[in-house]
Each structure stands twice: as structure tokens, then as C-alpha cells.
Amino acid sequence: MPSTPGQSARIDQFFAGPGGRGDAWKNLVELVESWARGSGSRAEVEAALAELAVTEGFHAYPGVQLMTALRERVAEDDARGTASLARRMTRAVITRSFRQNPTDWEAHEDDEAAAADVLPPALGRTDAHRPYFEVAIVTGAPAARWPALGAEWRRLRRPLDAFIYEPIFVGSFEDAFCASVLNPDLAAVVIHEGFTFRSRHDAPILRTLVEAMDENEGAKASALSLAQVIKRVRPELDLYLVANGEVEDIAGDPKATALRRVFYAVEELLELHLAILEGVQDRYDTPFFNNLKKYAQRPIGTFHALPIARGKSIFKSDWIRDMGEFYGPTLFLAESSATTGGLDSLLEPTGNIKKAQDMAARAFGADHVFFVTNGTSTSNKMAVQALLAPGDIVIVDRNCHKSHHYGMVLAGAHPLYVEAFPMTEYSMYGAVPLRTIKQALLSLKADGRLDRAKMVDLTNCTFDGHIYNTRRVMEECLAIKPDLIFLWDEAWFGFARFSPFLRPRTAMGAANDIEAWMHDPASVAAFEKQEAELGKDPSDDVLLKTRLIPDPRKIKLRVYQTNSTHKSMSALRQGSMLLVKDVEFHTVEAQFREAVFTHASTSPNQQLIASLDVARRQMELEGYGLVHNAIEIALAIRQAVAAHPLISKYFHILGADKMVPAAYRESGFVDYLDPKSNWAAALRSMKEDEFCLDPTRMTLVCGTAGFDGTQFKGILANTYNIQLNKTSRNSVLLQSNINNTRSDVAHLIRVLVEISNEIDQRLAQGGPNVRQGFEARVKSLMTDVPDLPNFSHFHAAYRREAGKRTNEGDIRAGFYAAYDAAGCEYIRLADPEIDRRLKDGPDLVSASFVIPYPPGFPIMVPGQVITQETIDFMRKLDVKEIHGYNAAQGLKLVRTDALAEPATSPPKPPRERHGRERAAAGHERRRVA
């Protein structure tokens, strides 16, 4: 409902991001234009303007004076003048040209001089591009004084300043919160003591959100309370407190850690100005990239390898000059194999790479970060190798990326596979229920082998967008084993750090929350209360049903996260980070160094390292707005597909209700598009539900349009230049990211309309045969789906050290068995011998990983006993790409007669092998036997 001027307005819809803001302005322009044409009314314009003014108050542009000028034109009944100004303002808001263009701030386009005294130009007229940001000033001063205060701030600007900023003023706690949420350009907040609590605006949902943000004590109009709430929403912002009285007391308060600096009220404003600029400079700084730029400009003679460095052999060549022209000279000037002369060594960083890594740790809420230049495939292997020793048990999602499985082969760790909930209809898996993970731990405990369980290794979010309740998983697991290590593969989810909604569900977000909880005295009481309630020896059943609270005094918080920075941020392909928050890191630091030496190339790419540094800078300075935009774009796509009558006839995007079974949506959240959903409900779901759906990952069902995933992916790529993510039997995965624009949405929707139209016409004109063919195809894709096979178990020969209740095994021994050619056999999938062996034995034991794409998880791992389920699935699979399987040869199996007999039998002598093969496999065989 549009509100009339003077009425307080609802600002609950403020989560409409930058696109929503642009739409509101375009809507205003349309209303003004209709008024100018005589088909609309001035009252409509006034109402829309009043509504817009509420949220615009949280942005520096257009600012009070331009908004006043606009209102005055309306009041003067000047429809054409209003339209002209509104159009200019709208253009500036949408293109963000106001950041560099002083005339955007002037009400009279052709009369800059006249405007100058009305509208202080926001920007110094300088040719050099200076990055722009905004600063929120929270103040108790009356709103009438804000323009004068703003002028005071602007007078502080100096040509020397590296950045330029505009102040915006808010007078209450709630408005300060709104500004932090709404304004992606904010880089700092200055909090003057003496503001009020309530917003001038009506916003019940906002209030729920504020309360949710300050869970410990309930928000109040204190500067420190405000600082804490803002830090929860935007940890990257610099917060400054200007205190009236006891500065020393405030600075000494533990809550003051949220502040960058505390000032005494009467001190120089210039100091504050300089502190703000320095704070932004701190984030802007990219130590490695800066040095690489300097290096590239120096006249350096190279007498080391890498002839491409400096580009001379390229630009002088008749034959490869085009490569130089394509990439530009800078790339070659910045190529070097040196680790000195201003550069640093990725393998043993002590200089600017170390600094860059420390800054990334700050940005991502970790204690340490390793930059990795071979993708998260390598980060995962590094973490697994560094943290696990042969024989350690890892509870791991069987559907995790293959780097984990291979990592365990290398480490000799024993995977205890746990299964995600299946989504058979769509030939994909969800995520692993916490109950399953707890059951695995309790079973190990019952077998007396809990001490060997070292790690829980899960993928968050999954390829298809299932987000774990990371905090709950870690807390409940730590209640069973307080020193478990957690490895969260957040290959797809690195960006989530920069969304207040998603952050608590990230590994580091949850680890930081758990750490804060551990230091809260109420936590021990909560633990003791539960301990007393559970009694001395609670049954597994009770433990599985109870939301377990760990003992905060015993927990050793050991959390690792890997992310493919290149998948969700502005890093070059293969740029990845490994984040560490581990109180025991000092005990494994040397192992990590070994893991780096094992896996990192000794010739890491300088551009990749620089891009990791720069990606961090970007996320710290504009990640909030970019992620907001990616979410907004995803919601726009979801909305457009659901609402379009033709598209929705053949396609749909799976909502949270379809992706996450109701049992795991305890809050009752249905979906982002559900009419009853609002952001408070989404926040509750993020907080409480066992699994949530990452809105940016959209499963578009195309089986209902008669396409299998691979086929549809091909059509989009080859005919329409749309590249997308993974496919399943009957769906494709679309993903929005920080790079997407509304034009991308428009293109996608147009293409879906075109394809839907074609289907519609084909069905309308093709007669009954075509229709029947289509229906049969849809039925085959949507209902004749193969059951997804669960992991069965390792062969007894690989379970020597296993217990009775769990299925872990020695995957490394299974893997190396395949090196013994004579000890392996091949049977083709269609061979009746497979069926005979399944029925009468001996066991079919896989000698390799078999990973079909899609779905992309190993349906067989080395040493696994193959069951009917797996064979049925393989036989029904209609995908071409199956890693580890050659259809012409058949399944590669370990000959069971080559395997060790049960433990009571004496080990068999190793069979004859040749040279290197014997050397490679002999040791492993003996381990198995």
C-alpha cells in the first residue's frame, strides 16, 4: 500500500536490493510521465514519491536537497519539470554515475552555477578516479541540523584523499540498522552517543530482525549495542564511536571490540575523517597485487626460466604475436618465476603473500588462510592430508567432491560414508541428516572406537544448494566428541560470508558464533541443565532425539573451510582458499606445510595469487551489495519462471519445499516465492531449519519440457549462448553470482519463452503422435527414474580394523589393489556373469572409483562390494561421461581370490608381478593382508 505524505511508511520491503531500488525509481518516472501526459494524477506521484523518500533517506544520493527540489516541482504543478528531474535522478541511481559525476547532484541540468549553492557537489572535480563510498552518521542532533552537519563533513575533503565519501545521517538505532542493511555503499558508520531507539518509520518485520541480530541481550539505544548489531549484519564495516563522557570505560568494555576506534566528542573532526579514510585504505590495500604491479613496471632482466616473462619472445614473434595482442603486454610483464625482488613465495610466504593471506583471514572470519592456486580440489586434499593419518576415521558424505575421496586414498584415512537424503525424482541427493551423522558417532562409540574418529567432512552448500545448519551440526557432534575436526567444503559458498542471512550458515560464521557462545557464562549452565536432564547413561535414541549441547569447557573448536574463490568471487579460475579456525592449529601447522609442499606447484601462477588478493578486496568493500544483487537476481528468475504462463507450462524451478523435505524445515518455511514468506520468515528458517536452500542455486526442471538435463544444457549453450552449471536426468542447475545483471535475467527469460513457444507450437500442430511421443518422453524423464544406490560396504579384506556397527574401510588398500593387473578382472556390464556373481558370489569388488556425470558422485569406490542396486543404476544410466569406467572393457574388479582370506586364515604369499608394479603394490597388499 502506498502511503500518503505525512503518514509513517512501512520499510519492511527493504530487502529489495539494488534492482528493486531501480524499479521503484522507474515506477516513479512512469507515474510522473503519465501525469505529464494527462493520463495520471499528481496525487499518485506524491504518494509514490513519499514512499520512495523513506528508503532513499538511507542513501547519500539523491540526498535531501535533490529530493526537496523534486517535491517542489511536484508542488508547483510542474509535471514536465518533475519528469525531467526524475528521469535524470533515476538514471544516476541505476547507472550509479553520481559517484563520479558532479552534475548528477544538481537540480538544474543547464545551470550548474545556480545549483551550486543549493546542492553541494558531492564530488571534488578531479580527473583522477577516486573510489566512492558512503558513511552513516548516527546522531542525536535534530534532523533540521543534518544539512549543516553534512556541509561540515564535506569541508574536510582534501585533494590528497585517496577516496571520496558522502555522509548520510540517521537519528535512531533502528534507522542505523536500516541504513546498514539497505545501503551497500556504506563503508563506515560513525556512532555519536545520544540517539533514540525507534525508527521514524513503521516496520514490524524490521523489529523482528533487529531482535534476531542481538540475541544475547536485546537491542537497546546504547552505542555499543548498536555497534554489535551492525557488526552482525556487516562485519566488514568500520565502526567509530564518538563518546560524550567516559571514553576510557567504553574503550575498555569487551563489546568495544566491534569498534575500530573510540573518539572523544570534542576532538577534531579531521581526525575522524582521516581515520575513516585509513580504515577503507586498510581494506583497499592488496599487498601482493600492489607489488606485482610495481614489479611489472620495473625494467627487470630475467635469467631464470619462464621465457614468457616480459613478453619479448612473444611480441617479436611473427607466429605467436596474436597471443600477446590478445592478452596485452601487462600480463607478460607481470609473469615471473621469481619469489624475490618484491614478490613472495606461495610455498613459504613471509612477505606480501603472507600479508594478503592474513587480510583474507580477517575478511572471512578465519584465523589463518592458505591461498591455493590449483582449485579447491587441491585445498581439500591438502586439508585431508594435513589433518588425517593412516587409519583415522572420517565421517564423510559419500556424495562429496572426488578430491575428498582421493585425499583419503593419499592419507590412508578410513572413510565412514554417510548418506544424504535422496531426491530420487530428480536423480540427485540432498545433504546428510544430522541424525545420520550422530548415529555414526554413537555407533563408533558403542564399538569403543570413537577415539579414532577424527573428522566430519561435509559439503556446504551442496552442488544443488542444500545449506547445512553448520552451527547445530558442529555443536551436536562436539557434544558426542569434543575434539572433532570439521572440514566444510564450501567450494560454491565462499560468497555467503558477505550476506548476513547466509553467513551464520557458513563454516566460519558458525565457528565464530560457537566461539562467542563458549565464552558466555550462560552456556555452561545450559550444558549442565541438559546433562542433568539426560541422566547418567542416556540411550542412543534419546541422544538422537535431543538437540545436544556440548560442554563449552571441553570443546576444542577445530574448523576448516575450503572455497573455490573462483566459483563465486572475482578470482581467476583455480583460485581457491583454505580457511582455518582451529585452536590446535599449532599442533598441525607443520603438517600443513608438508601438505603445501606435497600439493602446491613450485611454479604457482602470479596472476592467480593476485586475483585472490583482489577478490578479497572487492568482497570487503562491495561484497555485501554484490551478493545482495546475486540473491535478488535469483529471486527475480524464480519469480519470472513461476509467473510466466507459457514458461510455467513446461518448466519450473524447485522451491525450498521441493528441495528440502518438510521434516528438515522445522520453522515451517515453505519457499521464497510463497505469498506468506517474508524476510523475517526466511531468517527464522536460516536460523532454525536443519537444511535451507541457497536461493542463488536454481534447479530448473526441464524433463517436463521433454528434455533431459544434458540435452537442455547443450541447447542453451549452442543455440542461445547461455552457459549453465550441472545437470541431472531431468533438470539443469542455474546459478546467479556477483557478475549477473538484470539483462542476463531478461535474456534467460526470453530464451525460455522462445523454447516454450516452440514446444507449444510443435504440440499444437504435430497431431496425436507428436503429443503422445512428448508425453512418453516426459514420463520417462520424470517418473521412470532409477533408484539412487547407497554405499554398500567395503569388502572384508579392507575392513580389518573396522568395528561391527559402521561401514568404514581402508580405501587406500582398495585403490592400490588396482595396480596389480593380475589381481584384477573386467566384466562387462551386460554380461550375465555379473548377475550370476551377484546371486551366487563371489563378491564383485570395485577396483576403482566410478563416477558418472551427472550425478557426479562415486557410485563405486575402490574396495566397495558392488550390489544389485548399483548395477541396476549403472544399467539405467543414460549419461556418456562416466569417470573410471570403460564400457568396452567393463567394470574393473579386484579378484576376490587375490584378496586376503578372513582374519583367521594366514596371509597368502604375494602373487607374481613385474618390476615397478610389484614395488608399487607390494607394500599395500601386505597391509591389507
Q: Rounding to the nearest 10 degrees, give the CA dihedral for residues 693, 695, 699, 700.
A: 140
Q: Which residues are registered as beta bridge partners of 850?
A: 860
Residue with Cβ nearer ligand PLP (193 or 457): 457
What whole-number distance in Å separates Cα of residue 60 and Cα of residue 169? 9
**Minimum distance between the CB of residue 564 and ligand PLP, rounded to whole angstroms?**
4
Residue with Cβ nearer ligand PLP (289 or 857): 857
Query: How many distinct helices (H) and strands (E) make up the chain?
Result: 36, 24
**Minimum distance between the CB of residue 492 and ligand PLP, rounded to whole angstroms?**
6
**Minimum distance between the CB of residue 390 and ligand PLP, rounded to whole angstroms?**
23
Residue with Cβ nearer ligand PLP (375 or 430): 375
SS3 of residue 136 by DSSP: strand
Residue with Cβ nearer ligand PLP (179 or 851): 851
What whole-number distance in Å separates Cα of residue 615 and Cα of residue 23? 29
Residue 405 CA, distance from chain mean position: 22
**Minimum distance between the CB of residue 722 and ligand PLP, rounded to whole angstroms?**
19
**Minimum distance between the CB of residue 562 and ligand PLP, rounded to whole angstroms?**
7
What whole-number distance in Å separates Cα of residue 687 and Cα of residue 839? 48
**Minimum distance between the CB of residue 852 and ligand PLP, rounded to whole angstroms?**
15
Q: Which residues contact 145 (CB under 8 A, 6 or more apart)?
A: none
Residue with Cβ nearer ligand PLP (324 or 375): 375
Helix (H) or strand (E) holding 692: strand 691-693
Residue with Cβ nearer ligand PLP (88 or 566): 566
Q: Which residues contact 806 (CB under 8 A, 6 or more apart)?
A: 393, 416, 440, 443, 444, 447
CA–CA distance from 207 to each of 16, 191, 211 (Å)? 17, 20, 6
**Minimum distance between the CB of residue 446 and ligand PLP, rounded to whole angstroms?**
31
Residue with Cβ nearer ligand PLP (461 or 480): 461
Closest CA to 6 of 58, 54, 76, 59: 54
Peptide bond preceding 461: is omega within 30 degrees of 0, i.e. cis?
yes
Residue with Cβ nearer ligand PLP (199 or 377): 377
Residue with Cβ nearer ligand PLP (146 or 488): 488
Minimal CB distance residue for ligand PLP: 375
**Minimum distance between the CB of residue 496 and ligand PLP, rounded to whole angstroms?**
14
Residue with Cβ nearer ligand PLP (380 or 618): 380
**Minimum distance between the CB of residue 575 and ligand PLP, rounded to whole angstroms?**
8
Cβ atoms of 404 and 380 within 8 Å: the answer is yes
The x, y and z cell numbers of residue 869, run together, are: 542396486
- Residue type at position 885: Y
Q: Which residues contact 76 (CB under 8 A, 6 or more apart)?
A: none
Residue with Cβ nearer ligand PLP (199 or 376): 376
The x, y and z cell numbers of residue 709, run together, are: 538435463
Residue with Cβ nearer ligand PLP (568 or 896): 568
In 346-442, at which residue ranges do the beta strands (DSSP E only) sit? 368-372, 393-397, 414-418, 422-423, 428-429
Check residue 880 and report its DSSP letter: S
Q: Which residues contact 321 (CB under 8 A, 6 or more apart)?
A: 314, 315
Cβ atoms of 790 and 429 within 8 Å: the answer is no
**Minimum distance between the CB of residue 487 and ligand PLP, rounded to whole angstroms?**
11
**Minimum distance between the CB of residue 380 and ligand PLP, rounded to whole angstroms?**
6
The x, y and z cell numbers of residue 174, run together, are: 533502528
Q: Rounding to the nearest 10 degrees, give the CA dihedral for residues 832, 836, 838, 844.
A: -80
Closest CA to 561 of 611, 486, 473, 454: 486
Residue with Cβ nearer ligand PLP (503 or 726): 726
Closest CA to 191 of 224, 236, 214: 224
Crossing angle for the helix pair 832-840 and 868-876, nearest 10 degrees? 160
**Minimum distance between the CB of residue 375 and ligand PLP, rounded to whole angstroms?**
2
CA–CA distance from 522 to each of 211, 217, 509, 519, 658 (Å)? 19, 12, 21, 9, 38
Cβ atoms of 452 and 392 within 8 Å: the answer is yes
The x, y and z cell numbers of residue 896, run together, are: 576376490
Q: Which residues contact 818 (CB under 8 A, 6 or more apart)?
A: 824, 847, 848, 862, 892, 894
Residue with Cβ nearer ligand PLP (183 or 574): 574
843: left (phi over 0), alpha (psi -120 to 50) or beta: beta
Q: Which residues bind ligand PLP (CB under 6 A)?
A: 375-377, 380, 401, 403, 459, 463, 489, 491, 564, 576
**Minimum distance between the CB of residue 709 and ligand PLP, rounded to whole angstroms?**
16
Closest CA to 88 of 139, 21, 131, 25: 25
Cβ atoms of 560 and 383 within 8 Å: the answer is yes
**Minimum distance between the CB of residue 521 and ligand PLP, rounded to whole angstroms?**
38
Q: Which residue in the block uniquely carries the three cell numbers 558426542?
A: 480
Half-sphere exposure of 449 (CA within 13 A, CB side): 21
Residue with Cβ nearer ligand PLP (414 or 697): 697
**Minimum distance between the CB of residue 568 and ligand PLP, rounded to whole angstroms?**
11
What whole-number distance in Å separates Cα of residue 843 and Cα of residue 833? 12
**Minimum distance between the CB of residue 717 and ligand PLP, rounded to whole angstroms?**
18
What whole-number distance in Å separates Cα of residue 768 and Cα of residue 775? 10
Residue with Cβ nearer ligand PLP (58 or 463): 463
Residue with Cβ nearer ligand PLP (174 or 489): 489
**Minimum distance between the CB of residue 359 and ligand PLP, rounded to whole angstroms?**
21
**Minimum distance between the CB of residue 887 and ligand PLP, rounded to whole angstroms?**
24
Residue with Cβ nearer ligand PLP (123 or 619): 619
